[in-house]
Amino acid sequence: MQRFIRPVVRIGIRPPCPVRPIRPIHTTRPIHAKYERFGGRLPPPGFEPPRSQGPGKGFINSNNPIVLRLKRRFGGDRGLVIAGVGLGGATIYYIAHLERVPETGRLRFIDVSEDQETAMGLQVQQETLAQYQGALLSPHHPTSRRVREVARRVVEANGLGKMKEAGLMEALPKISIWGGAEEEGLFGGGEGQATLSRGGERRKDIEWEVYVIKDDATKNAFVLPGGKIFVFTGILPVCKNDDGLASVLGHEVAHQVARHSAERMSSLKVLFVLGYVLEALGLDMGVSRLLLTFLLQLPNSRKAESEADHIGVQLMARACFDPRESTRMWTRMSESEKGSGGGGVANVDFLSTHPANAKRIKALEKWMSEALDVRAASPCGDSTSQFEAFREHLPLGQTGRVWG
């Protein structure tokens, strides 16, 4: 008998499904987030907002050839940063030392003190005296005394100080020492001259000195800081008379009144910094110096010379000299330079440290009305007008005999 076996029913139990983590809500990274103002326009397709520059990008790490050159020039990133800070400091220093010339209002950079300027003038004075030791005229020589008297009137009439060893011109023989056919000069006494102190702006304790150098081939005169006046005898025939000499001395004294020596020394520092910057940018040293010379140094020098002409004609007018003689003197100077072969350079304004003679004469004519008003306002105005009226009634050629 067959045994019946009941089928076994197997119930399969599946293991529980693994629990999957809930997917986080996807958000745009902040760098890619787009802010849309309500009602604003959507950006065009494919628009990518600018991304911030990460490491390796920017000015310091730029691949720009100029930046790379500067980095090599200054020794890397750190040197370039230091150079930039230094240039910024130099700019602030430059602005802090800007001032205006009191007489003309011209803006200029100057960082040299009056004491430094005077010390520099003393050094140049010693060098000049050593160079021309054998050519200096005695202080008691008639030419020295006469030049000193003209300088004394210009200096003391404008309240610029006192003249050292000023001679008494009344005791001088009336002889022709200028080299001209006529002798029109007459020295006035020191009493009663105008004494303007310009509101106390100028130092009155300067003791001015005059040195006359016997050199008939040199047509020059200059004044050093501290009141040291040097006149070469070669310029006296060009001056021709006292008024002509006063125009020359007034111009040179004006350089010191406006402190052009200190301005020139200060500008050399600016030229040095600019030359260094141009060289760092890759410009050849010779080319950079040439550009700075023609674009900055020479134009500034001509401005200073023109300014000295303007101030100088007022200084001589206040000292009772005839300012109209300044234009005649520069005409004679121009003719003298043409005769010596230097007229071409003298009339090329762009290549010279001085304005062309024709421009100087034209500028002086423009300032002449102002200068004549200055002389008329001085205590000598009336006496000078009477003297000129008397001289105009003399026959031609008798003026020289009147004055000796």
Among the listed residues 275, 318, 276, 158, the one whose alpha carbon sits nearest the alpha carbon of residue 227: 158
181 pLDDT higher than 50: no
209 pLDDT higher than 70: yes
The pLDDT value recorded for residue 43 is 61
Among the listed residues 128, 100, 124, the one whose alpha carbon sits nearest the alpha carbon of residue 258: 100
Q: What's the rounded Cα separation, in Å, for the pair 367 and 250?
A: 14
Alpha helices in 19-134 (DSSP H): 65-74, 77-96, 114-131
Q: What's the rounded Cα separation, in Å, for the pair 196 and 199?
A: 8
What is the average per-residue pLDDT within 19-43? 57
What's the pLDDT tens digit per position in 145-158? 999 999 999 999 99
Element (H, E) at 210: strand 207-213
278 pLDDT higher than 50: yes
pTM: 0.68
275 pLDDT higher than 60: yes
314 pLDDT higher than 90: yes
172 pLDDT higher than 60: no
Q: What's the rounded Cα separation, in Å, for the pair 249 and 265?
A: 22
- For the chain, the structural domain boundaries read 70-100, 108-402
202 pLDDT higher than 60: no
The pLDDT value recorded for residue 284 is 75
User: What is the band of 34 on the pLDDT scale with cuts at 50, 70, 90?
Assistant: low
Q: What's the rounded Cα separation, in Å, for the pair 301 and 261?
A: 11
What is the average per-residue pLDDT within 260-273? 90
238 pLDDT higher than 90: yes
Catalytic residue positions? 252
What's the pLDDT tens digit per position in 95-124? 999 999 988 899 999 999 999 999 999 999
What is the average per-residue pLDDT within 248-273? 92
